[in-house]
């Protein structure tokens, strides 16, 4: 859902410190505090590509309405070291409440917390300093102690008592500065985009997940590895990305629905395997979390610069499904659909995320799910096994019967070479054309299926002649800015095969189209141009950081002058 309204009861909290201070987990704990008060939350986590050291910070946004973007100013700033103050002066307003560790940060005004002393008195580990700061923040925000007890008991499962004791000491010495009102709604699950994708893959029928860890999809590998013992799921970590894609194709050939995870650099190594999937018609799902390139680029920062790459990756021509979800609910739903559609049409499917989406944390509302389900069968294409089985039988849909090794009396051949219906390699000109046309037919069926879903979504003022065009994680910030300015938002979720009819319907009445993208070329705008649709203006950001709400609002207003 994309509210398209200005949020009420809107609170922003920044917590910062060095790597090793547990900033990500501290931010999640703050998000859970707000969640228990009835707020809808979003968290952005920023960290450098360093194993140790550097400045880490998380921005937790809590709002009465669902949100998927952070603000450019903070109501509360929690500092575990001096960098958390000096590096974020631009986010401070005169009324920003600063809560800081007096042993590691200096500030003339604000709430000083003697974290080192508290840890010493409780014989607690240094990382528990974030619990002290959270305790002081809760008191400053007027959050009742029983809420902290509940959140810590449910979400800090290691040394819960010790963390609570540390938090209580800081809570007792702090003073209430600004009461955060209790909304009183039921809490929602709070999950990352990676976790939503993983749950969606499982819901779609995934049997195996294979990945080499690469930011920002590394946490998806960790999450699924934790879930595997409780599910009929195999999770494998091979030695490199080439091994990943080939192993996934092996799983799929053997009859298991397989998915892989990577980023742009790893996907580079997978492209020959992607072509293999296209030629052999072995389905596979690829989760690609974009980050700033080219090459290693900014390994822990965001970007949307791989769209052209995934549209054309791999030698030769073959259909593919590409989806770009914009929040946790879409990540769940379209990941499930990606598995179902990949296996129905025997094509590779790519779930195109980005660091902001994959590692961002969202309130997850099951009531916003559309409940789409794909009928796995293709009318008129009945499977044939046994002596007459043809793995690449030419059909009206282009989709051939899919059997797996071990089917009684059936030989299942696959090859990366051009082949005939049996799977025997050939260089015959006529057969080569027939098989190319057969593969290409699947794109038409896939597009027809896509057009039965909401592949292009519209939000905001649907009668406005001015529309923001956004994809992926920019959905949230574009919707919020559109709500402020009375604009329309158009969000294509499916990028290949491109749902042109739905896009044209969404553009009805639009006189001015402004694309909002995290790349320097305006890649979605270029894709639309290939389909005869012109973007009038572009608002582009390519520094590796997502748009804060205020920044995008200002840039859109400049364009509209």
For 244-258, write each residue's pLDDT tens digit: 999 999 999 999 999
Residue 114 to residue 126: CA distance in whole angstroms: 13
Helices (H), 228-376: 241-253, 264-280, 307-312, 328-345, 355-359
Write down which residue in 368, 399, 415 finishes a domain: 368
Asked which of 44-53, 204-213, 326-335, 357-366 is least confident by mean pLDDT, the reply is 44-53
- pTM reported for the whole predicted model: 0.96
Q: How confident is the model at residue 2 (pLDDT cuts 50, 70, 90)?
A: low
Specify if 243 maps to a domain.
yes
Write down which residue in 173, 207, 226 finishes a domain: 173
pLDDT, position 398: 96
Enumerate residues 6+ apart whose C-beta is below 8 A from 175: 111, 139, 140
Reading the block at residue 218, the tokens are: 């590394």
Specify if 373 maps to a domain.
no
Q: How confident is the model at residue 173 (pLDDT cuts 50, 70, 90)?
A: very high
For residues 47 and 106, state if they share a domain.
Answer: yes
For residues 141 and 263, state if they share a domain.
Answer: no
For residues 356 and 468, state if they share a domain.
Answer: no
For residues 238 and 163, state if they share a domain.
Answer: no
What mean pLDDT comes out for the span 533-552? 98
For 482-523, write each residue's pLDDT tens digit: 999 999 999 999 999 999 999 999 999 999 999 999 999 999
Considering only CA atoms, give the Rg of the chain. 25
What mean pLDDT comes out for the span 91-103? 94
- The dihedrals phi and psi of 309, each to the nearest 5 degrees, come to -60, -50
Residue 260 scores a pLDDT above 60? yes
Over the chain, what is the mean pLDDT?
Answer: 95
For 377-392, write each residue's pLDDT tens digit: 886 566 676 778 999 9
Residue 4 scores a pLDDT above 60? no
Structural domain total, the chain: 3
What mean pLDDT comes out for the span 296-316? 97
Residue 309 scores a pLDDT above 80? yes
**CATH code, 15:** 3.40.920.10
For residues 277 and 357, state if they share a domain.
Answer: yes
**CATH code, 200:** 3.40.50.970
Specify if 437 maps to a domain.
no
Residue showing tokens 């595997």: 228
Residue 352 scores a pLDDT above 80? yes
Residue 167 to residue 155: CA distance in whole angstroms: 14
**CATH code, 556:** 3.40.50.920
Specify if 399 maps to a domain.
no
pLDDT, position 7: 52
Write down which residue in 368, 391, 426 finishes a domain: 368
Specify if 405 maps to a domain.
no
Give the pairing type, strands 537-540 and 11-18.
Answer: unpaired
Closest CA to 166 of 219, 127, 205, 207: 127
For residues 100 and 199, state if they share a domain.
Answer: no
For residues 234 and 270, state if they share a domain.
Answer: yes
Contact 323, 349 (CB under 8 A): yes
Owning domain of residue 487: 456-560
For residues 133 and 204, state if they share a domain.
Answer: no
- Burial (CB count within 10 angstroms: exposed 0-12, middle 13-18, buried 19+), residue 226: exposed
Residue 268 to residue 144: CA distance in whole angstroms: 51
What mean pLDDT comes out for the span 175-196? 95
Residue 264 to residue 292: CA distance in whole angstroms: 9
Q: How confident is the model at residue 6 (pLDDT cuts 50, 70, 90)?
A: very low
For residues 46 and 106, state if they share a domain.
Answer: yes
For residues 343 and 222, state if they share a domain.
Answer: yes
Residue 347 to residue 152: CA distance in whole angstroms: 45
Helices (H), 346-458: 355-359, 429-450
pLDDT, position 180: 94
Specify if 447 maps to a domain.
no
Specify if 506 maps to a domain.
yes
Closest CA to 328 of 474, 193, 455, 472: 193
For residues 473 and 527, state if they share a domain.
Answer: yes
Residue 69 to residue 152: CA distance in whole angstroms: 26
Specify if 130 maps to a domain.
yes
For 391-403, write each residue's pLDDT tens digit: 999 999 999 999 9
For residues 117 and 198, state if they share a domain.
Answer: no
């Amino acid at each position: 859902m994309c509210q398209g309204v200005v949020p009420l009861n809107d609170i922003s909290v920044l917590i910062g410190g060095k790597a090793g201070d547990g900033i990500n987990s501290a931010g999640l704990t703050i998000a859970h505090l707000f969640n228990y008060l009835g707020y809808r939350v979003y968290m952005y986590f920023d960290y450098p590509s360093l194993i140790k050291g550097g400045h880490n910070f998380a921005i937790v946004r809590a709002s009465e309405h669902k949100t998927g973007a952070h603000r450019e100013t903070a109501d509360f700033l929690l500092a575990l070291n001096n960098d958390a103050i000096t590096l974020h002066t631009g986010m401070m307003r005169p009324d920003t409440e600063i809560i800081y560790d007096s042993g590691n940060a200096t500030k003339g005004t604000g709430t000083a917390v003697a974290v080192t002393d508290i840890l010493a008195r409780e014989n607690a580990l240094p990382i528990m300093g974030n619990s002290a700061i959270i305790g002081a923040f809760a008191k400053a925000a007027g959050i009742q102690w029983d809420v902290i007890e509940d959140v810590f008991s449910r979400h800090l499962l290691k040394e819960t008592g010790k963390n609570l004791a540390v938090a209580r000491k800081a809570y007792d010495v702090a003073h209430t500065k600004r009461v955060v009102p209790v909304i009183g709604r039921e809490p929602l699950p709070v999950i990352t985009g990676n976790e939503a994708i993983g749950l969606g893959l499982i819901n779609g029928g995934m049997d195996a997940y294979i990945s080499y860890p690469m930011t920002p999809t590394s946490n998806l590998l960790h999450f699924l590895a934790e879930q595997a013992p409780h599910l009929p799921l195999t999770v494998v970590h091979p030695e490199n990305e080439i091994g990943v894609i080939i192993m996934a194709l092996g799983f799929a050939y053997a009859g298991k629905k397989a998915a892989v995870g990577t980023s742009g650099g790893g996907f580079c190594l997978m492209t020959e395997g992607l072509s293999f999937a296209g030629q052999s018609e072995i389905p596979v799902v690829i989760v690609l979390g974009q980050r700033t390139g080219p090459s290693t680029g900014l390994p822990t920062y965001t970007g949307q610069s791989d769209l052209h790459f995934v549209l054309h990756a791999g030698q030769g021509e073959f259909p593919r499904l590409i989806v770009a979800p914009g929040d946790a609910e879409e990540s769940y739903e379209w990941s499930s659909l990606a598995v179902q559609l990949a296996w129905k049409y025997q094509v590779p499917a790519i779930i195109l995320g980005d660091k902001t989406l994959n590692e961002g944390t969202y309130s997850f509302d099951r009531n916003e799910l559309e409940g789409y389900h794909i009928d796995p069968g293709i009318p008129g294409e009945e499977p044939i096994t046994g002596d007459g089985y043809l793995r690449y039988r030419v059909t009206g849909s282009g989709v051939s019967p899919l059997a797996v090794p071990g089917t009684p009396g059936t030989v299942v051949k696959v090859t990366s070479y051009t082949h005939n219906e049996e799977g025997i390699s050939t260089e015959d000109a006529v057969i080569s054309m027939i098989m190319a046309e057969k593969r290409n037919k699947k794109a038409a069926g896939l597009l027809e299926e896509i057009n039965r879903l909401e592949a292009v979504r519209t939000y905001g003022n649907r009668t406005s002649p001015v529309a923001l065009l956004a994809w992926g994680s920019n959905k949230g910030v574009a919707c919020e800015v559109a709500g402020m300015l009375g604009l329309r938002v158009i969000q294509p979720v499916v990028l290949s095969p491109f749902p042109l009819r739905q896009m044209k319907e969404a553009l009805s009445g639009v006189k001015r189209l402004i694309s909002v993208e995290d790349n320097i070329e305006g890649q979605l705008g270029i894709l639309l141009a290939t389909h005869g649709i012109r973007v009038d203006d572009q608002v582009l950001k390519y520094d590796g950081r997502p748009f804060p709400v205020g920044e995008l609002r200002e840039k859109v207003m400049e364009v509209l002058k």
